[in-house]
Amino acid sequence: MAFKNSGDIKPFVDKIWLSSPTMHGKELEYMTEAYKTNWMSTVGKNINEIEAQVAEYVGVKYAVALSAGTAALHLATKLAGEKLYGQARPNKGTLEGHTVFASDMTFDASINPIAYEDGEAVFIDTEPDTWNMDPVALEKAFELYPDTKLVVIAHLYGTPGKVEELKAVCDKHGALIVEDAAESFGAKYLLDGKWVETGALGDFNCISFNGNKIITGSCGGMFLTDSKDDADKVRKWSTQSREAAPWYQHEEIGYNYRMSNVIAGVIRGQMPYLQAHINQKKAIYERYKEGLKDLPVKMNPYDAEKSIPNFWLSCLLIDEDAMCKQVRDDQQALFIPKTGRSCPTEILETLASFNAEGRPIWKPMHSQPIYRSHAFITADGNGRGQSNAYIDKGNARDIGMDIFRRGLCLPSDNKMNEEQQELIIKLIYRCFS
Ligand SMILES: Cc1ncc(COP(=O)(O)O)c(C=O)c1O
């Protein structure tokens, strides 16, 4: 038994969350204003205000407020498909018959829109320096699939990826980028000597205001762009694709994806607190880093010269030689406790038993049952079928699965106080005792 509780630590009375909404007061005022003025709709002042505020903050010309980050990603992906391959028939996706390169270690909402649009995602392995898409693997993917013209790139846990290198590979091959900045609103990247916000780095950019994000509307998302035509198109698609006629006239397939003015009121109330939330999350990250420094673990890494993360989630990675045995099937996990060692399953179960919420790392998309038949490209090339029953070549490279196996997301709620965080750190030490 590795974890020992000598009874001195009591479970938290109030649950410590991974990342929960933090309201400040103004949100209710703006929601109430929508109610009192009867703008309980998908038009209204709150929407206009937050579109202007977010566009200004991110440094893009236009922001289109949508019902979710997923909706933003869908319309961004559809728009990219239409630009590359033309308008699709009403019952077909714009990516039919085409491959799209996509981040592998991310939430499935990043990449499902490729399938909504009838495209085939090819998953690109992760690099160990920022836990995002590996530019070397991306270059290999273009060697194997030279006709691919679209790449979906996510910034994981609020940490910008190797944007400069990824953009250079995409430019070389004439490919467009859908940027998924759902988790990284407020994070910055140094591009060509200038700090640029995530959400302004791709050709079609998306953020999320889901309840667990750095600021929230309870739900919601945005499409961000410098192109008026693109903003107009996404706004039109999101409101059932109505044409300029006195009646409901439709030449394109439409969606009901517009943000509600009530939700926009919540986001409007949250916007002034974005930087305060980032500061709190950064302090949490730094306290974990300092508090866990004597354990055989590392925090989720970032490039301190070229990026300023928003520190949305603090994560840790256990050193290989400090891992106890752990197995996971498609639904359950088991581990064998060992003195001086631990594993994500043990730490997550321990935290849960003390009423604190952690989470496994995003399970890589190439290993998800729904996408197991899709191609997966690593820095070595094709990542599928690389073991050999007759010739031992060692383990094939798969950085994402390695991080999934040895990593976990720690409770990162900005309402967690220092004392509570110290107890969490203590619990993690005991897992290794
Ligand atoms: C990386 C990533 N992409 C997309 C989404 C989808 O955003 P939403 O929940 O607003 O639809 C999320 C989070 O929920 C996410 O973490």
In ligand 1, the atom with minimum distance to the C-alpha of 180 is: 3
Q: How far apart are CA 404 and CA 417, in angstroms?
A: 28
Q: What is the pLDDT along the chain (433 residues), one digit of tens a residue?
A: 567 777 888 999 999 999 999 999 999 999 999 999 999 999 999 999 999 999 999 999 999 999 999 999 999 999 999 999 999 999 999 999 999 999 999 999 999 999 999 999 999 999 999 999 999 999 999 999 999 999 999 999 999 999 999 999 999 999 999 999 999 999 999 999 999 999 999 999 999 999 999 999 999 999 999 999 999 999 999 999 999 999 999 999 999 999 999 999 999 999 999 999 999 999 999 999 999 999 999 999 999 999 999 999 999 999 999 999 999 999 999 999 999 999 999 999 999 999 999 999 999 999 999 999 999 999 999 999 988 889 887 878 899 999 999 999 999 999 999 999 999 999 999 999 9
302 touches ligand 1 (CB under 6 Å): no
Place of tokens 């949508």: 66
CA–CA distance from 264 to each of 27, 224, 270, 290 (Å)?
A: 9, 16, 10, 38
Q: How far apart are CA 235 and CA 42, in angstroms?
A: 11
391 C-alpha to center of ligand 1: Å?
42
221 touches ligand 1 (CB under 6 Å): yes
Q: pTM of the entire structure?
A: 0.97
Nearest Cα residue to atom 14 of ligand 1: 210
109 touches ligand 1 (CB under 6 Å): yes
Buried b (16+ CB within 10 A) or exposed e, 312-344: bbbbbbbeeebbbebebeeeeeebeebeebbbb
Interior angle at CA 124, CA 357 and CA 412, nearest 5: 20
Token pair for 167 = 């953009």
What radius of gyration do the chain's Cα atoms show? 22
